[in-house]
Amino acid sequence: MKKKVLALLMVTAMSSAMLAGCGSSESAEAPAESSTEEAAETTEAEEEVSDTTEDTASEEAEAPAADKVYNIGICQLLEHPALDEATRGFEEALTELLGEGNVNFDFQNAQGEQTNCATICTQFVTDGDDLILANATAPLQAAAAATNTIPILGTSITDYATALDIADWTGATGTNISGTSDLAPLEEQENMLVELFPDAKKVGILYCSAEANSVYQAQVFEQYLEEDGIEYEEFTAADSNEIQAVVTSACESCDVLYIPTDNTMAANTETVNNVALPAGVPIIAGEEGICSGCGVATLSISYYDIGYTAGEMAYDILVNGADITTMDIKFAPQVTKEYNASICETLGVTIPDDYVAIEQ
């Protein structure tokens, strides 16, 4: 009897173990299938999230964040039409690209003083501005001295190598500085002088000796005059106080005057004109603003265009993360032959048909 009971108990125990084993097997297999499905779903979800993140990042690279406001410091050397147009072009380009309310401009006029440029640019650095626009050579030099980390874009700069004292020029500064140049083709400007005044025996080159880029333009222009066998003489003023006397001296000994893109002369065209026009001495100007005030003709760029291009460069730096150290200096896309109808009429100068009259 005891043996039967014991055998029965053993059979029962084995059956229970087998049932338990079967139950464990089913239980282990079911979660395994579920885990595989869940893992696949999780991977797909992660890929979707990853794709969404990449799309979002791409969109953010193409457009500024809605709540991001960029602070831009603008140091302009002084007030005159050419520099004013460059600043206007820069501001309009950035406002269009970033959107209204996404950019603040801190515009400062240095009133023609180098010391003011230094003070203004130092304040931009203290304020932590996102970018500095240096409009003309003196502001560019001041900004370069104030910071080597904040991006600096120049405009209305004739030659960056001269302005920044770079010997091995490659087209980019290799520093936190880039921008646009207002250099017009000097050889073509000299050709214009010869075309309009073929009988000129001596040309006076008039500029401010304190402006490095004016010195550069004068030297290049002189080379072309030498090639044409035309005599020339430099007449320089250290500041605006000397202009009247210097122009008077130039008009006494020269047949034609040439004024490069010089900020001091541009700000004092009335003084120049009050001497040159009564003396009957025509002036070939380096840009439209000077020509409008005292010149006969010019081969001029658009300062609005180079300012606008600088604004596009600023957007590329601020939003797209462009490396300013490798950004080549950009130039005006085109030049235009222009003339001052009023002064031409007064002096009896005949202008060819391919010149455009400057709007006064």
| pLDDT in single tens digits along all 360 residues of the chain | 433 334 433 434 444 433 344 333 333 334 444 444 444 444 444 444 444 444 444 444 445 555 799 999 999 999 999 999 999 999 999 999 999 899 999 999 999 999 999 999 999 999 999 999 999 999 999 999 999 999 999 999 999 999 999 999 999 999 999 999 999 899 999 999 999 999 999 999 999 999 999 999 999 999 999 999 999 999 999 999 999 999 999 999 999 999 999 999 999 999 999 999 999 999 999 999 999 999 999 999 999 999 999 999 999 999 999 999 999 999 998 899 999 999 999 999 999 999 999 987
On the CB side of 341, CA atoms within 13 Å amount to 7
Q: Give Cα separations from 213 to 56, 156, 209, 262 (angstroms).
A: 46, 10, 9, 8
The CA distance from 239 to 87, in Å, is 24
Q: What's the pTM value of the predicted model, to 2 decimals? A: 0.77
The contacts of residue 79 (CB under 8 Å, 6+ apart) are 109, 267
Q: Are 139 and 76 in contact (CB under 8 A)?
A: yes
- Predicted confidence at residue 43, as pLDDT, reads 47
Strand partners, 300: 336
The CA distance from 133 to 90, in Å, is 9
Kind plus residue range of the DSSP H or E element containing 181: strand 177-181
Q: Are 115 and 103 in contact (CB under 8 A)?
A: no
- The boundaries of every CATH 3.40.50.2300 domain in the chain are 70-182+303-328, 186-300+335-357
Selected from 3.30.565.10, 3.40.190.10, 3.20.20.70, 3.40.50.2300, the CATH number assigned to the domain covering 70-182+303-328 reads 3.40.50.2300
Q: Which residue has the tokens 């087998």?
A: 18
Q: Are 255 and 284 in contact (CB under 8 A)?
A: no
Selected from 3.40.50.2300, 3.40.50.300, 3.40.390.10, 3.30.2130.30, the CATH number assigned to the domain covering 186-300+335-357 reads 3.40.50.2300
Q: Are 137 and 163 in contact (CB under 8 A)?
A: yes
The CA distance from 354 to 75, in Å, is 36
- Predicted confidence at residue 19, as pLDDT, reads 37
| DSSP-derived 3-state class of residue 105 | strand
Q: Are 131 and 72 in contact (CB under 8 A)?
A: yes
Look at the alpha carbons of 12, 15, 21, 27 in this order and tell me if their dihedral is positive or negative.
negative
Angle at 272 between CA 141 and CA 256, to 5 degrees: 100
Q: Are 124 and 132 in contact (CB under 8 A)?
A: yes
Kind plus residue range of the DSSP H or E element containing 235: strand 231-237
Q: Phi and psi (nearest 5°) for 7?
A: -65, -40
The contacts of residue 343 (CB under 8 Å, 6+ apart) are 273, 277, 282, 294, 295, 296, 349
The contacts of residue 6 (CB under 8 Å, 6+ apart) are none
- Decide: residue 123, CB within 10 A, 0-12 exposed, 13-18 middle, 19+ buried: middle
